[in-house]
């Protein structure tokens, strides 16, 4: 397959990030898998060079007028890039979106289903749009197609024990001395010093519900009076919470709880749309079915007139099933999908496409998939190739690497010790190449025989969240527990949904970081920068604040960022190096101060590993050691958090926990983004946390991690309504004999 029949993408002298003048040819119309330890340069090559060049070329084809509104991709740092075709990146970015975005809309199944109902539904409605909850003619008038309505929590609106002057009105916008508060004050309706509890019935009615259009003067302006309940309902309460900014969303969630719309029972549609049925089912019924049930239902409909349409819809649904997402329903809001699920939903859109000669770029597509489903995913990748496309995959799982027509192994190590191609060629050659990846392909962690003794248990009783079927389970304390099962079996529902409700002290180490402002980077996040500033101040006998990016010592043009962000509506901002300081972040005066020969700007450029060698200050060395221990030695201290992958963010959080004792930690697929070699290190870290007296619970598919756990809880047997039960709990050595467990079967198959 990997001959040059169809030509190759030719890369010469690539130098993005840590790449060391990399030159290579990547065969077209073949599957190329990029491997290598984290930080070796896979993303810099695949996303930073190949995909970036493709995007740039595509953008250049637009008229200059349009181009000025598009993100500018600088030319990737390389001598030459030839033969690059249009690239589509299918990554793990969450789909996000508002509550009108669902699995159905994202996969285009929504439109197909509406057309089908407009042709076959009884009674017949006119056009497909009459079945749409986004169309005023189709939507439920009560909830406007959201399926839920907001109910107000009055305890979050007024504190009845206080007077208006004492701040009885609780929403932020109504605090004492705000404009809204002045309206109530100037209305003359209330005794400002009387606690609300003592109000007469009429006073209460005025404060909450009065809405007669009267004007009240505040300053020089006349404003319309509205009781606070009315005002909140019309204002915040009418908004789609999914579209709110985070701080407004917090306020929304404090005041409103969402409940199912009483008019449509959550179906989002009006009565006419819901009355139209195919074989007894409304379009809302179909959307609420698990996709693995809906597909056979669609196949069972006999209607020659719309045969091709039925086929197309069924095929789209069957692709969702093949990709391991049959447990989802079409009405599932896309904002509730995990990163791995989002990537696979996006994938389905492309599988239906008849485009050829596209370069598809996948970032670890097997994330979230049980080994049982990885084989089917590999099959879909092969289909995409066989349609005449070039498929580039960044992957760590041996089963996915095995399907490669061509392997590019990056290394030998991370950061400045990586950035080279250490092997390229076919899969068989990788196994004998002697590289870290090659060596790991057939080396498995043995199953742990001597497990730790627990010191107590965490109990979850009668859990029924999502698909959980009245699950009662105890999770041993003071040991490492792996929670396993196919995607959709209920792992997250049990461990992220139910456990923290029973044990509030649970620490969830997920992949979300409050990325906060653009000022957040590795150094600020870990708190290392405070200590570094003090060290510089001491060495130069000046004030520590001089070395702060918010101080007068910072470059006035970029305010200490080293780069200038130009915001573009709806698009990623454009980032350029600051010309004033040439990326050095500080004024000449500050840059002149040094600590053992390095300027503050040099420190920002250090990789963690280099910094380890440089700093002997105990407070700094301790934090750096933690970062190295979690395998992040290759990160530079000034690297913005926004450039970190999900797995890197999770490990950054983990590093901050390393010194702590006696906690309950939950991690969801912590091996994401990790090379097999790095997985060994990660298991070592879990052991350390447990040995320090913590309880560690990991949701994992990685068989090495499962083998090294002290206890395994396997959920299943299947996904969605076929899952939700505990099929095995015990030590890993016994899982091998649990014939009914898919996880157990895979442990056996790989020949532990």
Can you give the binding site for Zn ion, defined by CB under 5 A? 140, 142-143, 261, 263-264, 555, 557-558, 578, 580-581
Beta bridge partners of 149: 259
Examine residue 585 and tell whether it contacts ligand ADP (CB under 6 A): no
Sole window of 40-48, 144-152, 456-464, 590-598 interacting with ligand ADP (rule: CB under 6 A) = 40-48
The nearest distance, CB 493 to ligand ADP, in angstroms, is 3
Residue 140 touches which member of ligand ADP, Zn ion, none, C-beta under 5-8 Å by kind: Zn ion
Q: Which partner, ligand ADP, Zn ion, none, binds residue 580 by CB below 5 to 8 Å per kind? A: Zn ion
Judged by CB, which is closer to ligand ADP: 216, or 709?
A: 709
Taking the complex as a whole, how short is the minimal distance between the CB of residue 726 and ligand ADP, in angstroms?
12
CB of residue 554 vs Zn ion: minimum separation in angstroms?
Answer: 8
Stretch that binds ligand ADP, among 21-29, 61-69, 243-251, 629-637 (CB under 6 A): 629-637
Question: Is residue 92 a contact residue for ligand ADP (CB under 6 A)?
Answer: no
Judged by CB under 6 A, the number of residues near ligand ADP is 32
Rg (CA), the chain: 29
Query: Measured between alpha carbons, how far is residue 83 from residues 6, 28, 57, 352, 397 in Å?
Result: 11, 9, 11, 25, 29
Question: In terms of CB distance, is 149 or 430 closer to Zn ion?
Answer: 149
Does 147 participate in binding ligand ADP (rule CB under 6 A)? no
Residue 588 CB neighbour total at 10 angstroms:
9
Torsion of the alpha carbons at 738, 743, 745 and 751, rounded to the nearest 10: -120
- The residue assigned the tokens 């930073």 is 48
Q: Counting contacts by CB under 6 A, is residue 44 touching ligand ADP?
A: yes
Place of tokens 């009560």: 142
- The distance of closest approach from Cβ of residue 233 to Zn ion in the complex, given in angstroms and rounded to an integer, is 16
Residues 6+ apart with CB under 8 A from 661: 692, 693, 694
Q: Which does 263 bind (CB under 5 to 8 A by kind): Zn ion, ligand ADP, none?
A: Zn ion
Smallest distance, Zn ion to C-beta of residue 138, A: 12
Q: Which is nearer to ligand ADP, 243 or 659 (CB)?
A: 243
Residue 164 binds which entry of ligand ADP, Zn ion, none, with Cβ cut-offs from 5 to 8 Å by kind?
Answer: none
- Report how far residue 471's alpha carbon sits from residue 493's, in angstroms, rounded to the nearest whole number: 11
DSSP 8-state symbol, 521: B
Residue of 225, 252, 256, 327 interacting with ligand ADP (CB under 6 A): 327
Q: How far is 391 from 663, CA to CA, in rounded Å?
A: 43
Single residue of 511, 639, 671, 743 touching ligand ADP by CB under 6 A: 639
Q: How far is the CB of 561 from ligand ADP (least distance, A)?
A: 13
User: Which residues ranging from 415 to 474 are in contact with ligand ADP (CB under 6 A)?
Assistant: 415, 466-467
Instruction: In angstroms, give the least distance from the CB of 515 to ligand ADP.
Output: 14
Compute the least distance from the CB of residue 415 to ligand ADP, in Å. Answer: 3
CA–CA separation, 592 vs 615, rounded Å? Answer: 19
488 contacts which partner out of ligand ADP, Zn ion, none, CB within 5 to 8 A by kind? Answer: ligand ADP
Q: Return the closest-CA partner of residue 288 out of 750, 721, 739.
A: 721
Spatial contact of 395 and 46, defined as CB atoms under 8 Å apart: no
Of 462, 464, 473, 468, nearest to 490 by C-alpha is 468
- Judged by CB under 6 A, does residue 328 bind ligand ADP? yes
2, 32, 40, 435: which one contacts ligand ADP (CB under 6 A)? 40
Q: Count Cβ atoms below 10 Å from residue 167 Cβ, excluding itself.
A: 14
> Using CB distances below 5 to 8 A depending on partner kind, what does residue 171 bind out of ligand ADP, Zn ion, none?
none
- Of the ranges 135-143, 162-170, 573-581, 635-643, which one interacts with ligand ADP (CB under 6 A)? 635-643
Is residue 413 a contact residue for ligand ADP (CB under 6 A)?
no
| 110 vs 267: CA distance, rounded Å | 14
- The binding track of 483-522 with respect to ligand ADP, each residue x by CB under 6 A or -, is --x-xxxxxxx-----------------------------
In 3D space, the residue among 407, 348, 409 whose CA is nearest the CA of residue 383 turns out to be 348
For the record, the structure tokens of 8 come out as: 């190759």
Q: Which of residues 10-39 bind ligand ADP (CB under 6 A)?
A: 17-18, 36, 38-39
For ligand ADP, the closer CB: 409 or 710:
409
- Nearest approach in angstroms of CB 332 to ligand ADP is 6
- The least CB distance from residue 551 to ligand ADP, in Å, is 24
Smaller CB separation from Zn ion, 107 or 276: 276
* Cα(456)–Cα(711) distance, integer angstroms: 13
Give the whole-angstrom CA distance, residue 333 versus residue 270. 19
Q: 152: helix, coil or strand?
A: strand
Q: State the nearest-atom distance from the C-beta of 606 to ligand ADP, in Å.
A: 11
712 contributes a contact to ligand ADP by CB under 6 A: no
Question: Based on the number of CB atoms within 10 Å of its own CB, is 718 exposed (0-12), middle (13-18) or buried (19 or more)?
Answer: buried
Query: What string of DSSP letters covers 388-424?
Result: T-EEEEE---HHHHTT-SEEEEEESSSGGG--EEEEE
Cα dist. 255→75, 150, 170, 236, 557 in Å?
49, 9, 9, 9, 41
User: Taking CB within 5 to 8 Å according to partner kind, which of Zn ion, ligand ADP, none is near residue 346?
Assistant: none
Q: Which helix H or strand E contains 543, and what residues bound it?
A: none
Token representation of residue 621: 């060395």
Based on the shown chain and the rule CB under 6 A, indicate whether residue 720 belongs to the binding site for ligand ADP.
yes
Tell me, residue by residue from 221 to 260, as one string, x for binding to ligand ADP by CB under 6 A and - for no binding.
----------------------------------------
Q: How far is the CB of 48 from ligand ADP (least distance, A)?
A: 7
- In the bound state with ligand ADP, the residue whose beta carbon lies nearer, of 490 and 646, is 490
Q: Please, are residues 38 and 417 in contact by the beta-carbon 8 Å criterion? A: no
Distance (Å, whole) CA 151 – CA 457: 38
The DSSP call for residue 122 is: B
Helix, strand, or coil here: 634?
Answer: coil
Q: Would you call 344 helix, strand, or coil by DSSP?
A: helix
For the bound state, the minimum distance from the C-beta of residue 340 to ligand ADP, rounded and expressed in Å, comes to: 9
Give the pairing type, strands 359-363 and 256-260. unpaired
Sign of CA dihedral 323, 324, 330, 331: negative
Q: Three-state SS for 378?
A: helix
Question: How far is the C-alpha of 209 from the C-alpha of 25, rounded, in Å?
Answer: 71
Please identify, using beta-carbon distances, which residue of 171 and 720 lies nearer to ligand ADP: 720
| Closer of 169 and 719 to ligand ADP (Cβ) | 719
To Zn ion, the closest distance from the beta carbon of 608 in angstroms equals 24
Binding site residues, ligand ADP, CB under 6 A: 17-18, 36, 38-44, 327-328, 332, 336, 410, 415, 466-467, 485, 487-493, 634-636, 639, 643, 720
């Amino acid at each position: 397959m990997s001959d040059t029949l169809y030509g190759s993408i030719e890369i010469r002298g690539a130098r993005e990030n840590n790449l060391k003048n990399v030159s290579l040819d990547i065969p077209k119309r073949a599957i190329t898998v990029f491997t290598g330890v984290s930080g070796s340069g896979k993303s810099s090559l695949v996303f930073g060079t190949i995909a970036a060049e493709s995007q740039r070329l595509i953008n250049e084809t637009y008229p200059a007028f349009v181009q000025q509104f598009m993100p500018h991709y600088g030319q990737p740092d390389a001598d030459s890039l030839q033969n690059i075709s249009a690239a589509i990146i299918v990554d793990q970015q969450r789909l996000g979106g508002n509550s009108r975005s669902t699995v159905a809309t994202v996969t285009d199944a929504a439109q197909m289903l509406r057309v089908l109902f407009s042709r076959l539904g009884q009674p017949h409605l006119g056009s497909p749009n009459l079945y749409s909850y986004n169309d005023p003619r189709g939507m439920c008038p009560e909830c406007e197609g959201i399926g839920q309505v907001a109910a107000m929590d009055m305890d979050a609106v007024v504190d009845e024990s206080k007077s208006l002057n004492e701040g009885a009105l609780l929403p932020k916008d109504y605090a004492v001395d705000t404009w809204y508060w002045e309206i109530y004050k100037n209305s003359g309706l209330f005794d400002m010093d009387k606690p609300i509890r003592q109000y007469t019935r009429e006073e209460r009615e005025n404060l909450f519900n009065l809405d007669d259009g009267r004007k009240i003067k505040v300053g020089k302006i006349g404003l319309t009076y509205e009781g606070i309940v009315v005002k909140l309902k019309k204002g915040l309460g009418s908004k789609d919470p999914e579209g709110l900014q985070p701080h407004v969303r917090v306020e929304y969630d404090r005041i409103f709880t969402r409940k199912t719309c009483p008019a449509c029972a959550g179906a989002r549609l009006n009565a006419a749309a819901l009355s139209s049925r195919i074989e007894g089912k409304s379009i809302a019924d179909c959307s609420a079915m698990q996709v693995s049930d809906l597909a056979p239902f669609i196949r069972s409909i006999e209607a020659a007139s719309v045969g091709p349409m039925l086929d197309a819809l069924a095929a789209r649904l069957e692709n969702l099933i093949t990709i391991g997402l049959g447990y989802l329903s079409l009405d599932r809001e896309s904002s509730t999908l995990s990163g791995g699920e989002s990537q696979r939903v996006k994938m389905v859109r492309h599988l239906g496409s008849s485009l050829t000669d596209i370069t598809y770029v996948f970032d670890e597509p097997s994330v979230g998939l049980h080994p049982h489903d990885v084989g089917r995913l590999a099959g879909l990748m092969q289909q995409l190739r066989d349609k005449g496309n070039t498929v580039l995959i960044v992957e760590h799982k041996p089963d996915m690497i095995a399907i490669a027509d061509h392997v590019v192994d990056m290394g030998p190590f991370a950061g400045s010790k990586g950035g080279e191609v250490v092997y390229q060629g076919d899969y068989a050659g990788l196994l004998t190449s002697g590289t870290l990846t090659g060596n790991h392909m057939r080396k498995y962690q043995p199953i742990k025989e001597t497990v730790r003794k627990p010191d107590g248990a965490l109990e979850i009783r009668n859990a029924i969240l999502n698909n959980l079927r009245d699950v009662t389970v105890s999770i041993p304390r003071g040991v490492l527990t792996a929670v396993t099962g196919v995607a959709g079996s209920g792992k997250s529902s049990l461990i992220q949904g139910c456990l923290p409700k029973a044990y509030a002290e649970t620490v969830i180490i997920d992949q979300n970081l409050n990325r906060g402002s653009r000022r957040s980077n590795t150094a600020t996040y870990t708190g290392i920068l405070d200590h570094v500033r003090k060290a510089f101040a001491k060495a130069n006998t000046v004030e520590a604040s001089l070395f702060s990016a918010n101080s007068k010592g910072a470059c006035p043009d970029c305010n200490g960022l080293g780069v200038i962000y130009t915001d573009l509506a709806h698009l990623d901002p454009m980032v350029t190096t600051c010309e004033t300081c040439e990326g050095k972040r500080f004024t000449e005066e500050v840059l002149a101060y040094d600590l053992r020969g390095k300027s503050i700007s040099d420190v920002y450029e250090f990789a963690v590993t280099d910094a380890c060698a440089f700093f002997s200050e105990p407070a700094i060395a301790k934090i750096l050691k933690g970062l190295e221990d979690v395998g992040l030695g290759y990160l530079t201290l000034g690297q913005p958090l926004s450039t970190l992958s999900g797995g890197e963010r999770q490990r950054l959080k983990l590093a901050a926990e390393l010194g702590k004792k006696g906690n309950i930690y939950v991690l969801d697929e912590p091996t994401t983004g990790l090379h097999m070699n790095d997985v060994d290190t990660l298991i070592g870290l879990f052991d350390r946390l447990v040995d320090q007296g913590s309880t560690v619970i990991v949701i994992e598919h990685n068989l090495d991690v499962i083998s090294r756990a002290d206890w395994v809880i396997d959920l299943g047997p299947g996904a969605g309504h076929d899952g939700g039960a505990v099929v095995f709990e015990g030590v890993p050595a016994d899982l091998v004999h649990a014939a009914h467990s898919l996880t157990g079967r895979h442990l056996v198959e790989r020949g532990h």
